[in-house]
Amino acid sequence: MKQIAQTDRKAALHHAIRAMILIGIAFYVVYLQTTGKLTLYIAPRMTIYVKLASLALYATAVFSIYEAFRLLSKPPAEACGCSHSAPSSPFRSALTYLLFILPLGIVFLTPDTTIGSAMAANKGMTLSAAQALQKPAEASAEADVPIAEDSGAPITEVVDEPTAEPDPAVSELPADALSTPSPDGEAEPPAGSLDALFPADEYTISYANLGKKLYQQEVIVVEEKRYMEILTALDLFLDRFVGKTITIEGFVYRDDTLTGNAFILGRFAVSCCAADAMPYGVMVQTDHPEQYGNDTWLRMTGTLSTTTYNGNDIMLLQATATEQIEPADDPYVYPNYDF
């Protein structure tokens, strides 16, 4: 009888430890949610599942605590006769629990930070959003694209003027390839002409429709809620947007391949969680870029042109106005599933 009581006490201790671990994980989820930091780790559309999982963890923890009290309060004579023994080795038990306790302690003790240029260097910055275009289902390809929002008040603080000389690390395309499709003051083309300017198949029709709307805007604002969709439309029909004015926000990124007056303004796109985050950006050419260090957040306005980088034709933003801004409340951008 004495051995059975001792086994129950060990089992109760294990139930209590497991309950504390589960409560710690669930509490951390609640902490992230209440502080608005949950989206630093997962996409907003996934938060509901994490919240439900935390409730399940609390329920499991309550059951474990109940089991611990039941084992401690049950008279030995009422034992069912079946085995409830805990792991025989204390070392194995301690090692198993440390696999959960140590990571949990680390996440509580370390600050919650956003991923930035260091992670972009590891993953590699993508400068052609169209390369990541996945063929959507036929129904998605036929979906209507909402009209882009108004660009809002223009940026008045002009820090940078278009650089006169090209960056040594960025070789410009020939001048005849940088023609402006719609000079200032020219009347907007009729719908039929827009269809000719933006040919599309069943997989790119949504981007062509978006491109037509962007083409008619005086200033194209790369807004957060359609960041990837706008960059993809610009990239797919890049020759149509050369000479257009673009406003975009992001963090500064540069590596050893970029010298002189060029850097990249980028954002991380997240589909599910921070683990699948991929950096996308636009090459920027500006005077005095040295005043902006890596991970500095900027809002930049400039003229869109093209350049060749690592053998690929990419977008180049020749900056005319730069404003240093605070990092976005949510530093990541997400696929627009209503697109």
pLDDT in tens, 172-189: 433 333 333 444 444 555
Provide the pairing of β-strand 332-333 with 262-269: parallel
Distance CA 238, CA 131 (A): 13
Q: What is the per-residue pLDDT for 3? A: 47
310 membership: H or E segment, kind and range: none
* Model confidence at 321: pLDDT above 70: yes
Q: Are 107 and 26 in contact (CB under 8 A)?
A: no
Q: Average pLDDT of the chain? A: 78
Closest of 99, 137, 108, 95 to residue 26, by C-alpha: 108
pLDDT in tens, 38-96: 888 888 889 999 999 999 999 999 999 999 888 888 765 454 555 555 555 778 888 88
Distance CA 66, CA 22 (A): 14
Distance CA 287, CA 261 (A): 6
Question: Of 146-150, 218-222, 277-281, which gets the smallest average pLDDT?
Answer: 146-150
294 membership: H or E segment, kind and range: none
Alpha carbon 314 to its chain centroid, in Å, reads: 21
Closest of 115, 111, 131 to residue 123, by C-alpha: 115
Q: Are 226 and 339 in contact (CB under 8 A)?
A: yes
Segment 250-273 shows an average pLDDT of 88
Q: Are 282 and 247 in contact (CB under 8 A)?
A: no
Reported as a pLDDT band with limits 50, 70 and 90, residue 5 is low
Question: CA angle 35-41-46, nearest 5°?
Answer: 95
How many CB atoms within 10 Å of residue 272? 12
The β-bridge partners of 279 are 268
* Model confidence at 117: pLDDT above 60: yes
Q: Please, what is the end-to-end C-alpha distance for the chain in angstroms?
A: 68
Segment 111-123 shows an average pLDDT of 80
Q: What is the per-residue pLDDT for 168? A: 44
How many CB atoms within 10 Å of residue 155? 16
Percent of the chain scoring above 70 in pLDDT: 76
pLDDT in tens, 148-171: 333 333 333 333 444 434 444 444
